Structure formats: structure tokens, C-alpha cells
Amino acid sequence: MSDQIILTPEGKIKLEEELVHLKEVKRPDISAKIEQAKELGDLSENAEYHDAKDQQGLMESRVVEIEEILKKAIVQEKSDSKDTIEIGTSFVVEDDAAAQKEYTLVGFNEADPLNGKISNESPMGQAFAGVSVGDSVNVDAPKGKITFKVLEIK
């Protein structure tokens, strides 16, 4: 991971909530599953025990990952300015086919392209950063170059 991780305030809250859930709900649940599996006897061929231990390992690594992200996080407050697109800014664009879509520019950790959250480090996010209403940008996409026109900054 890089030294700095940019998060929106919402992204930081989401990670903090996930961390609390993992520590206060998942950790005790997995510990209980391990104890129950131990009671079944021979651990060498105990599938429930091995499954619970695998779950525990994955959960603990996610806890460490979230804690590291939060240590390195820089929270990027959304600017009140509607002049240019910055991290945290939502905006509406129109593509070559006249289809309109709303996006929000976020840090890479919060990216969710299917829900319109694009990473500031992606080619698309980099193309939109600093752009104003009325500007057009070209984005190299897997299906070829797409031109987007910024219609609105929210």
C-alpha cells in the first residue's frame, strides 16, 4: 500500500463501522465456532474446525488491513465549490451515445464502478479530476476511446 490513502468522510465511516463489526460481532462468532468444533473431537479430520480457522484467518487479515488503511488515511472533505471535479465530488456526464450517468470521484479504496464510484487513480478518474462543467474528456476504455461531456457538478 502507498504511504497515503485518500478517503472521503463517508468512506472512513464505512471502514470504521466494518472494523467494529469484525471485532465485536464476527470475532466472537468465529471463536465460538472454533470452540464448538473442538468439542467434536479429532481436529486433524474436523472440517468444521478447519473451516472456522480459515474464516478466522481471513477475518483477522481484514482487521489488520482496515487498521493500516485508517492509520494512513487522509480524509478529503468535499469542497463546496462546484467549479471543478475533486475527490468526493458527484457529477453528471454524457457519453458519445448521449447516455447520461452520474459518478462520484473517490479514493481507490472506495471505488465501486458498478455503483458510479470511480477511483481517482483510474484512467477515468484521472481524466475527470480538475475538469469543469461543459468540458469534455477522452477516456481509454476496454471497448475503445469514449468522450464524456460534464453536464453538472453536484
Which residue segments constitute the domains of the chain, with CATH numbers given?
Answer: 5-75 (1.10.287.180), 90-153 (3.10.50.30)
| Confidence (pTM) | 0.72
Average pLDDT over residues 13-22: 95
**Bridge-partner residues for 7, per DSSP?**
75
Average pLDDT over residues 39-51: 79
Tens-place pLDDT, residues 64-119: 999 999 999 988 877 677 789 988 899 999 998 889 999 999 988 889 989 999 99
What is the distance between the alpha carbons of residues 154 and 145, in angstroms, rounded to a whole number? 25
Provide CB contacts within 8 A for 51, sequence distance 6+: 37
Provide CB contacts within 8 A for 17, sequence distance 6+: none
What is the distance between the alpha carbons of residues 26 and 34, in angstroms, rounded to a whole number? 12
* 3-state SS, residue 58: helix
pLDDT for residue 115: 93
pLDDT band at 132 (very low <50, low <70, confident <90, very high): very high
